Chains A and B, each alone.
Chain A
């Protein structure tokens, strides 16, 4: 029960984030909004690291520089998310984001790219994505 609540709240926060970013960006600009939300989030995350006395950053040198720099992709993600929400609203933006995300996840896991262990892709996953695409078409018809 608690797990379900956390998961639902997590989804709420994700949607809220898209909406808040889009709102902030329409008032002060997209790059300003992206810079501001990432900076304030970082400050809070560092506080949490300090409070829980997390020392695992000492292992950071062992992480491949390519993977460690993944955070930079957020600039592209945030910019496209904010602009897409302005153009077509949150529902459609989230739906297409999820489809693109899952399709690429199929490719990454199916081929074992980026050090992910290779997995066979089930029929249900393909049908699931097709259903999502059908859902988007129904949304937009």
Chain B
């Protein structure tokens, strides 16, 4: 449990750094070129890490056919988030993305689809998720409510991405 929390904190921090770096890349090149570059380097780094930790054992696995299509999901994320941001603006779009993420998370834990360990639904967990959603909305939309545009954070650093 403590290890899970620790890893999630590290992971989330790196998402933030990666979003910031990507935002700087996007100042020069398009969203899709940025996405292609980011995924290529992600592939190279994962391959290198895999070879370091497991050697050529990295390549001995039995993949189900759908595994090969998992990358499509990441591209779907970029397409939807980019469209959402264009239509709604960054703060409203990203707050909705994050709220949607956490509610689908609760749904998935409850249903236990895809071989995920089922976590029984409780009203308490719904309350927790509502509270987290409220926090996200306050974080993203609060500056607008305060009517001070200068307190707005750079939308790029908060983009949902991984």
A positions within 8 Å CB-CB of B: 2-4, 6-24, 26-29, 31-46, 48-49, 52, 54, 56-57, 59-60, 62-64, 66-81, 83-106, 108-109, 113-117, 119-125, 127-141
Contacts and interface: CB of A to CB of B under 8 A. Distances in A.
Interface of B: 1, 3-5, 7-25, 28-30, 32-33, 35-50, 53-54, 58, 61-64, 67-78, 80-81, 83-84, 86-88, 92-94, 96-106, 108-109, 113-117, 119, 124-125, 127-140, 142-143, 145-146, 148, 150-154, 156-158, 160, 162
A120 B17 CA distance: 19
A56 B33 contact: yes
Interface core residue of B28, B142, B150 (most chain A CB under 10 Å): B28
Contacts of A60: 28-29, 33, 37
A131 B14 contact: no
B77 A98 contact: no
Given A97-B15, A122-B142, A31 B70 contact: no
Contacts of A127: 135, 138, 142
Contact of B139 (A76, A87, A90, A129): A129
Contact of A37 (B20, B70, B83, B86): B70
Contacts of B49: 31, 34, 75, 79
A106 to B, nearest CB: 7
Given A20-B114, A70-B22, A102 B158 contact: yes
B75 A39 contact: no
A35 B129 contact: no
A104 B84 CA distance: 23
Q: Is the interface of B mostly helix, strand, loop or mixed?
A: helix
A6 B36 CA distance: 21
A67 to B, nearest CB: 4
B41 to A, nearest CB: 3
A72 B44 contact: yes
Contact of B129 (A67, A70, A135): A135
Nearest to B28: A59
A127 to B, nearest CB: 6
A57 to B, nearest CB: 5
A15 B101 contact: yes
A51 to B, nearest CB: 9
